[in-house]
Structure 1
Amino acid sequence: MNGAQALIRTLVGAGVGVCFANPGTSEMHFVAALDEVPEMRGVLTLFEGVATGAADGYARMAGRPAATLLHLGPGLGNGLANLHNARRGRAPVVNVVGDHARSHKRLDAPLESDIDALAGTVSSWVRRSLCTSDVAGDAAEAVAAAARGAVATLILPADVSWEDGAAVADPVAVRPAPRVADAVVADVAAALRSGEPAVLFLGGDVVAGEAGLLTAGQIAAGTGARLMTETFPARTVRGAGLPDVSRLPYPPEMAMAALAGTKHLVLAGATRPVHFFAYPGVPGTPVPEDCTVHVLAEPGEDGVAALQDLAGLVAPDAKPELLEASRPELPAGQLTPRALAAVVGALLPEGAIVVDEALTSGVGLDELTSGAPRHDRLALTGGAIGDGLPMAVGAAVACPDRPVIGIQADGSAMYTVQALWTQAREQLDVTTIVCDNGSYAILEGELDRVGAGGGGTRAEQLLRLDGPALDFVALAAGMGVPATRATTAEELADALRKALAEPGPHLIDAVLPGRG
């Protein structure tokens, strides 16, 4: 058995059954081995950033690693942005990166690069298989490392892949998430009993399932603490029958207002909040200076169990306040961001997966979908735009029985628009709504926020997406995805109904105010 065959069989045995791939010459033995191991599903992508973003979306929804297959250092480099997002969201991903044969590396071939250094920027675990007999064991350890909520990268020299002498390795056991010490829970309980204003700041496993949210709601009901999540949690279950949990706003002035007056900030599965960027005269964090930050559960610890222990101390008999089922009325007339959100809220099906990369066009989306049927939302964890379309691919592969709706900003869509081709090829049940305002609208706001306002026409040209305007209907059709354009709320509602009723991918170009 050659190294590539042993690698794939080991991955499958460890529960990794999907590989999002953009291979090259050094990976051809891996590609050939797919015919020998039909249990591994290979999904072709036309750009490495689609492969890595799809692996991120798959991992978030499946709760287990997906693999990527990338070509040398440049291929890994093309996928780094969405691996950054995966790392920030603690998504389990296993990268297999082909490298030159060992005898060829010393020749400094044109594609030679420092793959190990590149991988280290986004990976918690990096290893290079040095001989064929090591490959399977290295692969098993990579899966175990990823399963702890990390990006793991295995570098596979071409000759190590093609040489015989490998054997399949057994999976490596993964320890469960560690429990939080009783003393930590008791300290947080004392803070909540103080009666001072408190916020439970939630993320990670706490918001990915209903158990954590219901327990957080119980604590809020018993103590008066407010509930808030990270600005971009990796996966959040939402909808009727759950507590109403607000997200920390992105703009710094709004984030500071949301936490103003808080005396105790309790982190449960989340990290201490900071602004995405520095701004003149603005502190780097929205946490008030006189607020004490308490770490109940670090990311990677069992945050749900910690909350349950805390509830037993401070709110054993409290009942959480839950959202009743509600939907907004279908709007009519001009298609604004809020009207777009109302259409989604009115028509969102049970069990949907909402991939949210709406950015500035997401006004009202949280509010108008809060009482909708139960659904999951995936968000842009690391802020590296271009994750939305690929994440939808991965989510649809992980959950083929659930509809996926992508709310996608126009500028960031162009980073990884090739994902539409993979959606068509795999006939994935993804409906993409492009928020088409013809600009990098988020940067228009940042221009003023950082004190660089008053820019002239040359500055404006760097923030506009016109001259020529992007034609998303034509782009989608050219990649095999049926597409239509909506300019009113009624047209969007009609198009969304039709897309949700038909299998396979669809795209709706929602033309919003601001497009030239």
Structure 2
Amino acid sequence: MSDVNGAQALIRTLVDGGVDVCFSNPGTSEMHFVAALDHVPEMRGVLCLFEGVATGAADGYGRMTDRPASVLLHLGPGLANGLANLHNARRARTPVVTVVGDHAGYHKAYDSPLESDIDALAGTVSGWLRRSAGAADVGADAADAVAAARTSPGRIATLILPADTSWSVGAAVAAPRPVEAPAAVPADAVAAIAAVLTSGEPCALLVGAGATRTRGLVAAARVAAAIGAPLYCETFPARLERGAGRPAVERLPRAADQAARRLAGVRHLVLVGAQAPVSFFAYPDQPSSLVPEGCEVHELGTVADDLPAALEQLAELVGAPAEAPLQAAARPELPTGELTLDAIGRLLGALLPEGAIVVDEGVTSTRQLPGPTAGAPAHDWLTLTGGAIGQGLPVATGAAVACPDRPVVCLEGDGSAMYTISALWTQAREQLDVTTLVFSNRSYRILEGELANVGAAASGPRSRDLLELGRPELDFAAMASGMGVPATRARTAEELADQFRRALAEPGPHLIDVVLPGS
């Protein structure tokens, strides 16, 4: 019998399958996994102080590498703490291998305090779910989990690892499973879309997963140019490659009325890896679907297909130009004076470094940024795909682990920052090059607008009190410094420009508390 225990076989199988980072918040039932890290030094363990940081970091890592990281969580409550960012990862179609420890099989009948229905919890976010029955099964289960996570376009694979399965010997390492390449969109399906686009009726293209990288965008821009149609991408793309030298694409606005105006008059909406647009929430007397009345929706393949190749075929069929229109390089002048949202947009457009990874959870504070940053050097933009706030700092952490040679800029709202503020500690511990701008307006500003949207009103101090973040004031510079992250506070455009330059020039993480007017 092999003297390798289940945990050792699991980690070795993960590493052999290309999963060599584990974002972790372990407990007693995962201690053999922790000990096994010394036997498989190729696995990088990254400690996170909250499970939502671990799951969000795995999301950021997967978005930037197109391969999964692993996450180690402690029983059902640990998984529950990480569910919000697993929800975001699921909506981003990010590959993640989640390992959740469980009680030893013989112990579960005693209903100890941490006993819960892990399978049910995991099922809410997992595209693949399995419980290892014994040490002899762990290697094969792990190999299957990696293959499932890497199945195009990526999904969350969850492996439940009972403690006795982890510590028992007799396990064997399993070889990596083959991963199928994305399927080709049938030629007749591409031809049918070409016929729609050349019908002479008003059309629009909406791209999403699989088509928001440069290759897909170039082909989509060629198609749009050939037929004179607008090109949009989903409101919250998992990873949008943009900037100078890349095709310009407008994100469909989050506000339902603005999105509806963009699509007004369109008779044919072609989806490329995107979902048909819907309102973020239900509002009284407003439609949920944002597809215009009388507009027909067409899909060019599915998210599991090779969408860039299909777009290139489509471009040829519609007689598209050989070259796509590309965004010209342009830098706004540095602003001076008050730190308005317009000034912040121009400042970032002027100073954003080449190759930056921008993680955007600024919510209301970053809506004006796409315009002034469009001509900045080529960069990637990662957004809040699932709407569950507390994503920005963890995703930035994972992106920095994935791409240590690229600067990461995290644009963070003050309310959402408090959900996962402990990510700063992990950034300091790992010395990650993340520059975080916290936009301090001292309120849940987005909810102030939502009150009107849903027909409610904050008519008195008790209702307004639930939307304000004062009393006491949140001191982000102090919090960051307390976790080992150098921090400053900016109240003018000149101060922000100086502090942002210095943060980008120095290695390791930095935080700037951007104090907005009126806060």
Instruction: Give the alignment's TM-score, normalised by structure 1.
Output: 0.99
User: Which amino acid letter does the alignment assign opposite residue 338 of structure 1?
Assistant: D
- Residue aligning to 1:460: 464
Cα distance between partner residues in 2 of 1:34 and 1:293: 50
Pairing 1:155-234 to 2, within 5 Å after superposition: 155-207=160-212, 209-234=213-238
Single out whichever of 450-459 and 476-485 deviates more from structure 2.
450-459
Pairing 1:259-408 to 2, within 5 Å after superposition: 259-408=263-412
Cα distance between partner residues in 2 of 1:5 and 1:240: 47
Cα distance between partner residues in 1 of 2:186 and 2:107: 52
Single out whichever of 88-97 and 266-275 deviates more from structure 2.
266-275
Of 224, 246, 251 in structure 2, the residue corresponding to residue 242 of structure 1 is 246
Measure how far apart 1:239 and its partner are.
Answer: 0.5
Cα distance between partner residues in 2 of 1:299 and 1:334: 44
User: Which amino acid letter does the alignment assign opposite residue 403 of structure 1?
Assistant: P
- SS for the counterpart of 1:306 is helix
Cα distance between partner residues in 2 of 1:60 and 1:167: 30
Of 108, 111, 115 in structure 1, the residue corresponding to residue 111 of structure 2 is 108
Cα distance between partner residues in 2 of 1:53 and 1:142: 19
- Residue aligning to 2:51: 48
Cα distance between partner residues in 2 of 1:243 and 1:235: 14
Of 504, 509, 517 in structure 2, the residue corresponding to residue 505 of structure 1 is 509
Count of residues in Structure 1 that have an aligned counterpart in Structure 2: 514
Q: Deviations over 1:307-362 (max 9, x none)?
A: 01111100243532211100111000000112112111111111110001111001
Cα distance between partner residues in 2 of 1:390 and 1:57: 7
Q: Deviations over 1:221-246 (max 9, x none)?
A: 11111100000000010111122210
Contact 1:267 1:298 in 2 (8 A): no
Measure how far apart 1:302 and its partner are.
Answer: 1.3
Contact 2:146 2:157 in 1 (8 A): yes
Cα distance between partner residues in 2 of 1:317 and 1:103: 67
- Residue aligning to 1:426: 430
Cα distance between partner residues in 2 of 1:10 and 1:325: 45
Q: Deviations over 1:152-186 (max 9, x none)?
A: 10000000000000010001111011111112111
Measure how far apart 1:205 and its partner are.
Answer: 1.5
Contact 2:99 2:161 in 1 (8 A): yes
The gaps in structure 1 that reach 5 residues or longer are: none
Of 438, 442, 451 in structure 2, the residue corresponding to residue 438 of structure 1 is 442
Single out whichever of 180-189 and 477-486 deviates more from structure 2.
180-189
Of 57, 66, 70 in structure 1, the residue corresponding to residue 69 of structure 2 is 66
Measure how far apart 1:435 and its partner are.
Answer: 0.7
Q: Deviations over 1:269-309 (max 9, x none)?
A: 11111111100111102110111100012222211111011
Contact 1:53 1:83 in 2 (8 A): yes
Root mean square deviation of aligned Cα: 0.8
User: Which amino acid letter does the alignment assign opposite residue 199 of structure 2?
Assistant: S
User: Which amino acid letter does the alignment assign opposite residue 422 of structure 1?
Assistant: T
Q: Deviations over 1:464-502 (max 9, x none)?
A: 000111100001001100000000011100000000000
- SS for the counterpart of 2:192 is helix
Of 34, 39, 43 in structure 2, the residue corresponding to residue 36 of structure 1 is 39
1:26 correspondence with 2:26: no
Cα distance between partner residues in 2 of 1:364 and 1:419: 26
Cα distance between partner residues in 2 of 1:198 and 1:187: 14
- SS for the counterpart of 2:211 is helix
- SS for the counterpart of 1:297 is coil
- SS for the counterpart of 2:472 is coil
Cα distance between partner residues in 2 of 1:315 and 1:437: 50
- Residue aligning to 2:143: 140
Measure how far apart 1:375 and its partner are.
Answer: 0.4
- Residue aligning to 2:7: 4
Single out whichever of 341-350 and 117-126 deviates more from structure 2.
341-350
- Residue aligning to 1:76: 79
Cα distance between partner residues in 2 of 1:193 and 1:246: 22
- SS for the counterpart of 1:510 is strand
- SS for the counterpart of 2:317 is helix
Contact 1:271 1:299 in 2 (8 A): no
Single out whichever of 449-458 and 477-486 deviates more from structure 2.
449-458
Cα distance between partner residues in 1 of 2:458 and 2:399: 42
Cα distance between partner residues in 1 of 2:336 and 2:367: 17
Cα distance between partner residues in 1 of 2:461 and 2:480: 31
Measure how far apart 1:106 and its partner are.
Answer: 0.6
Cα distance between partner residues in 2 of 1:479 and 1:297: 47
Measure how far apart 1:203 and its partner are.
Answer: 0.8
1:493 correspondence with 2:497: yes
Cα distance between partner residues in 1 of 2:444 and 2:303: 32
Contact 1:271 1:298 in 2 (8 A): no
Q: Deviations over 1:46-81 (max 9, x none)?
A: 000000000000000011000000000000000000
Contact 2:214 2:247 in 1 (8 A): no
User: Which amino acid letter does the alignment assign opposite residue 342 of structure 1?
Assistant: R
Cα distance between partner residues in 2 of 1:317 and 1:344: 33
Contact 1:341 1:363 in 2 (8 A): no
Counting aligned pairs with the same residue, the percent is: 65
Cα distance between partner residues in 1 of 2:115 and 2:75: 8
Instruction: Give the alignment's TM-score, normalised by structure 2.
Output: 0.98
Of 85, 90, 93 in structure 2, the residue corresponding to residue 90 of structure 1 is 93
User: Which amino acid letter does the alignment assign opposite residue 193 of structure 1?
Assistant: T
Cα distance between partner residues in 2 of 1:404 and 1:301: 30
Measure how far apart 1:455 and its partner are.
Answer: 2.8
